[in-house]
Amino acid sequence: MRFWAVRLGSIGLAVAGAFAIGMLAQNSGNTVSRLIALAGLYVTLAVSLNLINGITGQFSIGHAAFYQVGSYTAAFLASQLVARGIITTTGMPISWVLVAVIAAAVSAGLAGLFIGLPSLRLRGDYLAIVTLGFGEILRIIIQNTNELGGSYGINSPKAFVVPYVWLLAFLCIAVCRNLLQTAHGLTFLSVREDEVASGAMGVNVTRIKVAAFVIGSAFAGAAGALLTHNEGFINVNSFTMDVSFIILTMVVLGGTGSITGSVVAALALFILPEILRDAPAMPLNAILGSLVGIALLVGVIRLAMDNKGLGREVMGARLWLGLGVAVGGAIVVSIGTNFVPALANRTIPSAELRMVIFSAVLVIMMLLRPQGIFGHREFGLGKLFPKEVKA
Amino acid sequence: MSEALLRLDEATIQFGGLIAVNKVSFELQKGELFGLIGPNGAGKTTCFNLVTGVYKPTSGSITFKGKAISGQPPFKVARMGIARTFQNIRLFGALSVLENVVIGGFLRQRASLVSSLLYMPGAIKETARLKREAMELLEIMDLADSANSRSCDLPYGKQRRLEIARAMATQPDLLLLDEPAAGMNPQESEDLMMTVRRLRDDFGKTVLLIEHDMKFVMNLCERIVVLDHGEEIARGIPSEIRSHPEVIKAYLGVEE
């Protein structure tokens, strides 16, 4: 009884949360509304790739391909519906959006099966290359298929999908979290840890790898369908290698295997460049100076992290010294740059600056916390309110 | 005469020009403590890999409980009732001690993947049952107090014991131990000997083990087969093996 009460309660909460986010988006401007939708899609993409990469340990870097399969499935379905006069180009009824989401999940899941099966014999870098190649091949095939819009792209009727985007994200998080709570989840982790030992324990390694690929890509496909109807127009440029890499970065930055880590990293990495869009143009020497300063500071902190044995005073003194060196270095570089003719009096426009800052943040993160934000761990309310330890 | 539990019949495997295991035949009766020894590179671990399905024999056959198992994938062999440990410890390092043993018991769980993904009552109950059984096994193997430590943080001797516990969690009929006493001090290997004997006496397991520690093998095993260069050179009870001229020659070389 209690189980079902909790279950229904949490489902209700998730639905209410998703529609609350939807309301928020509806009351915001078009740009913000679109960003809220895209943020939810990236959460789904990162969490579903985390299932393949982080939990099952299969290094796949072609996640955008499954996103693309789903997206084009939805677009193709919509074009067929329009051609048959079932819907109009002005708007897509939500019931048809849900059909499109399911169709996209199925077709992306099949693509996951298709790429998963031959990849089972491959490990590590070899698997990475195959998944990368799959993504590129698919993109180029679509680019040259006129029925799918070719390199121009394809129009689809729009719909207000924000609540469903977040519902999908919550579903994806719930499914991964459920899995890790059960013995089945442990076998996914055991495949990551040691395939040979897993086999010797009676774990069907093949089946688990395929399951991870199919589930992960089905979620990516569903996200793709929602992207299609959120944007109203898609083309192959939305699914380049960069997209795969940014999803992968989210998983690694969050801490491979950690669901909460993927969620936090997905939101952070998606929002950061958007905030930086408004950054003012800055002079080059100031940028170079601060980069050098940050680099020195990070180096000092790393050294301090490695020498935990030292006393507090010594550490403190070294940190202050390091800070001094960093600030000094920054000033020297920014002034020094003025004497180099090629670099003097240059400014960097904000559009390019934001990518510099974005990359710098990533490099600093990986230096200071190579295991990712949460490492292998999860963050939950239990961490805030620790249970009493039984003696 | 009762049916043998495991029977190797002229099992042979060839890697290119190298015959790693050449026409090795032996039988294990239920409840035996059986030793497989030989100098380095004799083909002992390859024999284990043949039995557990890691390799498929080039010729010859392997039968377990009267069924041919050669060519079956390792996970199927494990499900038929053969569990093993590894020479170079292969634990699931990032997982806890308890979780390692739960994975060993996984082949007996009945919940479907879908019910686990939806966290249905069936999956919850099965997981709880496996955890309970794993905890009982950890008590028996004297590992209960480190149940929640990461398995890679355990000291070496405990890691070896955990590997045996994990193999036991599959509830096998036959347990293959690959150098269980390697790297242990005399006290630890003494304890291990007691443990292995208990696995047979109290739990009715049949044990086939590879070991270099002669004292360990001679005191524990009832029958021994000696391999050298992939071929059997001797077999018998420990006292016969100890004085067998071929065995002495293989281990110590021949006097000029």
Nearest to A191 by CA among A174, A172, A210, A173: A210
**CA atoms lying within 13 Å on the CB side of residue A42:** 26
- Asked if A197's CB is within 8 angstroms of B91's CB, the reply is yes
0.90 exceeded by pTM = no
Q: Which residue has the tokens 């991964």?
A: A176
Looking at the complex, does the CB of residue B102 fall below 8 Å from at least one CB of chain A? Answer: yes
d(CA A294, CA A301): 10
Residues in chain B within 8 Å Cβ distance of A196: 54, 74, 86, 90
Q: How confident is the model at residue B255 (pLDDT cuts 50, 70, 90)?
A: low
- Is the model's pLDDT at B55 over the cut of 60? yes
Q: Are the C-beta atoms of A176 and A211 separated by less than 8 Å? A: no
Task: Name every chain A residue with its beta carbon within 8 A of the beta carbon of B99.
Answer: 186, 189
- Cα–Cα dist A73/A212, whole Å: 21
DSSP string, A201-224: TT--HHHHHHHHHHHHHHHHHHHH
The answer on pLDDT for A367 being more than 90 is no
Shortest Cα distance, chain A CAs vs residue B91, angstroms? 7
Question: Which pLDDT belongs to residue A381?
Answer: 52
Q: Inter-chain contact B75–A181, Cβ cutoff 8 Å?
A: no
Report the residue of B110, B112, B116 to disrupt the A interface, i.e. the one with the largest count of A CBs within 10 Å: B116
- What is the structure's pLDDT at A294? 83
Q: What chain A residue is nearest to B169 in terms of C-alpha separation?
A: A201
Q: Do B116 and A194 touch (CB under 8 A)?
A: no
Search chain A and give the residue with CA nearest B90: A197
Long-range contacts of A302-306 (CB under 8 A, 24+ apart): A302/A367, A302/A368, A305/A368
Instruction: Report long-range pairs for B38-44 (Cβ below 8 Å, ≥24 apart).
Output: B38/B226, B38/B227, B38/B228, B38/B233, B38/B250, B39/B228, B39/B250, B39/B251, B41/B229, B42/B227, B42/B228, B42/B229, B42/B230, B42/B250, B43/B227, B43/B229, B43/B230, B44/B178, B44/B210, B44/B227
Q: What chain B residue is nearest to A206 in terms of C-alpha separation? A: B75
Quote the pLDDT of residue B254: 66
pLDDT for res A330: 84
Give pLDDT, residue A308: 63
If one compares A316 and B204, the residue with the highest pLDDT of the two is B204
Most confident range (mean pLDDT) of A82-86, A101-105, A206-210, A305-309 is A101-105
- Residue from B48, B82, B117, B170 whose CB has the most chain A CBs within 10 Å, to mutate: B117
Q: Sorting pLDDT into bands at 50, 70 and 90, what band is A379?
A: low
Which of A3, A175, A187 is nearest residue B106 as measured by Cβ atoms?
A187
pLDDT at A290 over 60: yes
Write out pLDDT tens, residues A170-201.
999 999 999 999 999 999 999 999 999 999 99
- The pLDDT tens digits for B142-167 are 899 999 999 999 998 899 999 999 99
B206-221 pLDDT per residue, tens: 999 998 888 889 999 9
For residue A329, what pLDDT is reported? 85
Given a cut of 50, is residue A252 above it in pLDDT?
Answer: yes
Nearest CB among A7, A204, A376 relative to B75 is that of A204
Pairwise CB contact (< 8 Å): B103 & A198: yes
Cα A201 from Cα A183, distance rounded (Å): 13
The beta-carbon neighbor of B94 closest among A183, A193, A197 is: A193
pLDDT at A210 over 90: yes
Any A CB within 8 A of B135 CB: no
Minimum Cα–Cα distance from A205: chain B residue:
B75
